[in-house]
Amino acid sequence: MILMTSELQSAADRSRAYRALARAFSLPDRPIYEELVSGELAEALQLDVPDEELARELKPALSFEELQAEYLRLFEVGTPRPPCPLYEGAWREREFLDRRELMEELVRFYNFFGLTLGERPKELPDHLAIELEFLHFLAYQEAQALEEGRDPDGFRRAQRDFLERHLLRWLPRLRDRLEQVEALPFFPAVVRGAVRRAERDYAELLQTLAARQEQERDPEKEVDP
């Protein structure tokens, strides 16, 4: 039996949260819809700040067909682009000379950890669901390393860097745009929850990695989990 330490619990919680978010930002099918209406997303996010309204809105009060239509209207359909695209490149055009530069950086992140999108991926590397799946993978690998007594810090640094260089650079912009358009409550609530979770995890990872560095300088000093 594996003792669930606070570090292991934290990594497992992060992994679960990002998997749930990745599914919430994928085109809803029946299984995804059933997960959402069950309240699994709100449970997985484990938001620190009590927010009854947000928790309520994280369970869609929509039929399956209505949820699909809202997803397509907000994220997929529009001229010249949808109101709230789910692609990082759409929000950071001024920061890259060419969108391919962003794609190449993301693919390097993925490939470094042995991940590929396949010859015919369903989504581009900068789609929000793909980026969240990557964070889910990194947190899962961190938990595995802790279980097996291996050094987890490489996976922690990767999560910190990915949140800093990518997700937290554009997800708040998506949140703000959703507040400006006429959207039903569910997807704005999901983005607010995702931003809150990502900001919390980033702060936690910074603290954990700083404590580990301090322990390396002073091996006799205990690290607060």
Nearest by Cα to 45 from 182, 145, 191, 156 = 191
Does residue 105 sit within a domain?
yes
Give the C-alpha distances (Å, rounded to integers) separating 100 from 23, 124, 129. Answer: 25, 11, 19
pLDDT digits (tens, 9 = 90+) for 162-177: 999 999 999 999 999 9
Does residue 223 sit within a domain?
no
Does residue 18 sit within a domain?
yes
AA identity, residue 72:
L
Does residue 224 sit within a domain?
no
The pair phi, psi for residue 74, each rounded to 5°, is -80, -40
Total structural domains within the chain: 1
Does residue 194 sit within a domain?
yes
Q: Which residues pair with 87 in a beta bridge?
A: 127
Mean per-residue pLDDT for 44-54?
72
Tell me, rounded to whole angstroms, the distance of Cα 137 from its chain centroid: 10
Does residue 1 sit within a domain?
no
Q: Which residues pair with 127 in a beta bridge?
A: 87
Tell me, rounded to whole angstroms, the distance of Cα 95 from its chain centroid: 21
Count how many residues are written for the chain.
225
**Domain range spanning residue 147?**
6-217
The overall pTM is greater than 0.75: yes
pLDDT in the model for residue 80 = 85
Q: What is d(CA 86, CA 68) in angstroms, rounded to the nearest whole number? A: 15
E strand or H helix at 54:
helix 52-57
pLDDT digits (tens, 9 = 90+) for 92-128: 988 876 888 999 999 999 999 999 876 555 789 999 9
Average pLDDT value for the chain: 89
Does residue 70 sit within a domain?
yes
Express as a percent the part of the chain with pLDDT over 90: 71
CATH code of residue 51: 1.10.3480.10
Structure tokens at 40: 């699994």
Does residue 22 sit within a domain?
yes
The pair phi, psi for residue 87, each rounded to 5°, is -110, 125
